[in-house]
Structure formats: C-alpha cells, structure tokens
C-alpha cells in the first residue's frame, strides 16, 4: 500500500495547487484581519516562491528571497537618511547600489541578488519621501516568505528524496523487464529485434534531475545520491552497449548459448534488480544490500570445450565482461541506496 508521501509525488500538481492556495488564503486572512497596508505583497511572494516543485527548493528560494529583500530594504532605506530635496544623491547612489547587486545576479546566489535589485527599486525607486510604502512592502515580503517556508515544510510537503526513491524503484523494475527481454532474445533463434530503452532513459533523466533538489532538501544525502545516480548511469550505458551489438550475428553466439550457467546467472541478476526495485517501492520492506558473492555471474569462469575450429572471437569475452561489470554496478547501487535510506530515516 502506498504511503501518503507517495500519493503526494504521484499527484504532484494537485497537491502543488492545494499547498499554494491554502498558504495564500492564510496570507489574505492575515491581511484582512490586521488590515495591513500593501498586504497583497505577501501572497505575491508566496506564489512566486512556492512555484518550485519540492519543499527543499521552496525553502531555499524563500530564504534567498528573504535575504535579498532584507539586504535590498536596508540599502534602500539607507537612502532616506539624505534630505528629501537631495534627489540627485538619492538616485545616484541608487544606481550604484543597483549596479553592484546586478553584478551578482549571475553568481551562486543569483536569486538573492535579483531580489536585492528588485527590492532596491521598490523601496527607493519612487524617490525620497515614500518611506511608509517602502517599509510595508518590505515587511509583507518578509512574512510572506516565512509563510511559504512553513507551508512547504508542513502542508503536503513534496520531498525530492521520496521522489528519488520511487524513481529508482521504477528504474530497476523497467531495467529488469528490458534485461530479461534481452536474455530471452540471446537464447532464441528468432530474428534480431531491437529493445526499446526510451522508458528506461526517461526514468534515468528524471532521477538525475532530482540531484540538485535533494542537495537543497538534505545536504547530508548528497554523496549517496550522487553515487547511486552514477551507478544507474553506468548500468544504462553498459546495457545499451550490450543490446546494441547483434550478438546473434557474432561467431561467439553459439558459445554464449552453450554456457547454460551464463544464461541462468543473467536471469538471477535480472531477478535481483526486480527485488531491489520492489523493496524501494514498498515502504514496509527494508532495503537489501547485494553481496557480490551472491551474484553467480561474478563467480562464473566458464571453460569452453575444445573445438576443431581454431578461430576465436573476442566478442564473447566482451559480452561476458559487460554483463559482469553490470552485476558489479547493481551490487554497488544497492549499497548506496541502503546508505541513502539509512540517512533518510535518521533525518526523519
């Protein structure tokens, strides 16, 4: 049975809308109850900040918005120390401050720099004298950002770590299906048929796109996530090399078919991928770590029967190496996913 967090990931758009609407209702209610001047800046901030998918991204975006707004407000309000009739000094310093903040909009904290620039214009762009407007705009942006952070953390939170776990489970499930299909084709005499990897590739792209979001959400998981993604990328590349070669057209095809233990070892590896994927998709099951000694293909050193045909074909040994390396990546992936799950449980 799927957990509530899995349902949030599955129906992400629905919960995304609910999260923003409820947070905006809270902001509008505060505005109405306390009759705050320029109170609409709070829901505007909420809508802009909560446009991100995951709670970690929202918190990072809101924090940068609060930081940028605070810096911009302090710089903008400092211009009000000049006399009201000093318009040239006001706008001259505003241009200088704006130039400095815009310089950093292409750096690491670009969003903060952008908000610093925007806040500078909002606070001081109307010239000296509008201190009331400047203060209330700044205040509403700040508390709106805090509401956005709280809503993203406690109101149907969409966790990138949950999405990563589900996507990895899907990857292993699809990989099992494709790998089993390849094994059946290699051991048959049917005409060569290309295996479609589009679904597997799309799932892998989804997994890799989650890395930065997890970094914002749980920095302590960055290493295990990075290593797990690297294993899955290598698995995909190895498998792509395996299926793109028309092994049935190779001299070594008969040798591959003769070694029954190789076929059985590949099927065992495929089943291990399926079991690992099921563990990831099932919240009740603990993740298993594959011991390399469990994988028959890594202990397989077949001796070919002597043949009167003195020809050798390196493709057989290449095929064996690719499958053995694939097994190593699956075992390593299980270790990193288990570490990821351990850290995730500790954080929770």
Query: Got the DSSP string for 110-139?
Result: HHHHHHHHHHHHHHHTT-TT-HHHHHHHHH
DSSP string, 62-119: HHHHHHHHHHHHHHHHHGGGS-TT-HHHHHHHHHHHHHHHHHGGGSTTHHHHHHHHHH
Q: What is the pLDDT of residue 262?
A: 80
Q: Which has the closest alpha carbon to 148: 10, 56, 39? A: 56
Torsion, Cα 5 160 12 54, to 10 degrees, reads 120
Q: Is 245 helix (H, G, I), strand (E, B) or coil?
A: coil
DSSP string, 267-284: HHHHHHHHHHHHHHH-TT
Q: Quick: pLDDT tens for 276-309.
A: 999 998 877 778 889 888 899 888 765 555 554 5
More confident residue, 107 or 214: 214
Q: Retrieve residue 44's tokens.
A: 């505007």
Beta-carbon-side half-sphere exposure of residue 309 (alpha carbons within 13 Å): 9
pLDDT exceeds 90 at position 338: yes
**Mean pLDDT across 329-348:** 90
Position 1 confidence tier, pLDDT thresholds 50, 70, 90: very low
Q: Which has the closest alpha carbon to 122: 142, 146, 106? A: 142
Residue in the block written with tokens 């505007």: 44
- What predicted TM-score, i.e. pTM, was given to this entire model? 0.82
Q: Quick: pLDDT tens for 68-97.
A: 988 988 888 888 777 767 788 888 889 999
More confident residue, 332 or 300: 332
Cα 236 to Cα 244: distance, rounded to the nearest angstrom: 12
Q: Quick: pLDDT tens for 106-115.
A: 888 898 999 8
Give me the phi and psi of 107, to 5 degrees please: -100, -160
CB 69 within 8 A of CB 123: no
DSSP string, 132-194: HHHHHHHHHHHHHHHHHHHHHHHSS---HHHHHHHHHHHHHHHHHHHHHHHHHHHTS-SPP-P
Question: In Å, how far are 11, 52, 75, 112, 271 from 108, measured between CA atoms?
Answer: 32, 18, 21, 9, 44
Q: Retrieve residue 347's tokens.
A: 């954080």
Cα 101 to Cα 152: distance, rounded to the nearest angstrom: 28
Least confident among 192-196, 229-233, 336-340: 192-196
Least confident among 16-25, 27-36, 279-288, 291-300: 279-288
Question: In Å, how far are 163, 198, 250 from 230, measured between CA atoms?
Answer: 17, 19, 31
Q: Quick: pLDDT tens for 117-147.
A: 988 887 777 665 567 777 888 889 889 989 9
Q: What is the pLDDT of residue 102?
A: 93
pLDDT exceeds 70 at position 67: yes
- Compute how many other C-beta atoms are within 10 angstroms of the C-beta atom of residue 97: 20
Q: What is the pLDDT of residue 198?
A: 95
């Amino acid at each position: 049975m799927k957990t509530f967090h899995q349902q949030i990931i599955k129906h992400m758009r629905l919960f995304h809308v609910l999260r923003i609407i409820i947070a905006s209702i809270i902001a509008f209610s505060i505005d109405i109850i306390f009759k705050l001047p320029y109170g609409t800046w709070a829901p505007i901030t909420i809508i802009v900040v909560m446009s991100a998918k995951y709670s970690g991204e929202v918190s990072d975006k809101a924090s940068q918005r609060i930081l940028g707004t605070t810096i911009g407000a302090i710089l903008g309000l400092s211009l009000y120390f000049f006399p009201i009739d000093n318009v040239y000094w006001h706008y001259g310093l505003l241009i200088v401050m704006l130039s400095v903040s815009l310089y950093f909009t292409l750096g690491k904290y670009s969003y903060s720099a952008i908000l610093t620039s925007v806040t500078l214009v909002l606070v001081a762009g109307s010239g000296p004298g509008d201190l009331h407007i400047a203060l209330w705009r700044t205040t509403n942006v700040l508390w709106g950002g805090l509401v956005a952070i709280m809503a993203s953390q406690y109101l149907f939170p969409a966790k990138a770590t949950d999405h990563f776990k589900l996507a990895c489970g899907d990857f292993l499930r699809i990989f099992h299906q494709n790998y089993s299909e390849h094994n059946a084709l290699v051991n048959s005499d049917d005409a060569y048929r290309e295996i479609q990897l589009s679904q597997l590739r799309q799932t892998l792209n989804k997994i890799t796109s989650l890395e930065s979001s997890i970094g914002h959400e749980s920095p302590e998981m960055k290493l295990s996530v990075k290593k797990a993604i690297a294993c899955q990328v290598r698995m995909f590349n190895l498998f792509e090399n395996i299926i793109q070669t028309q092994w049935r057209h190779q001299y070594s095809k008969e040798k591959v078919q003769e070694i029954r233990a190789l076929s059985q070892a590949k099927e065992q590896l495929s089943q291990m991928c399926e079991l690992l994927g099921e563990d990831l998709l099932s919240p009740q099951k603990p993740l298993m770590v594959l011991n390399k000694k469990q994988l028959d293909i890594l202990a397989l050193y077949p001796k070919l029967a002597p043949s009167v045909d003195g020809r050798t074909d390196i493709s057989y040994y290449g095929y064996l190496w690719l499958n053995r390396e694939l097994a190593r990546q699956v075992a390593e992936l299980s270790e990193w996913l288990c570490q990821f799950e351990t850290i995730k449980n500790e954080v929770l």
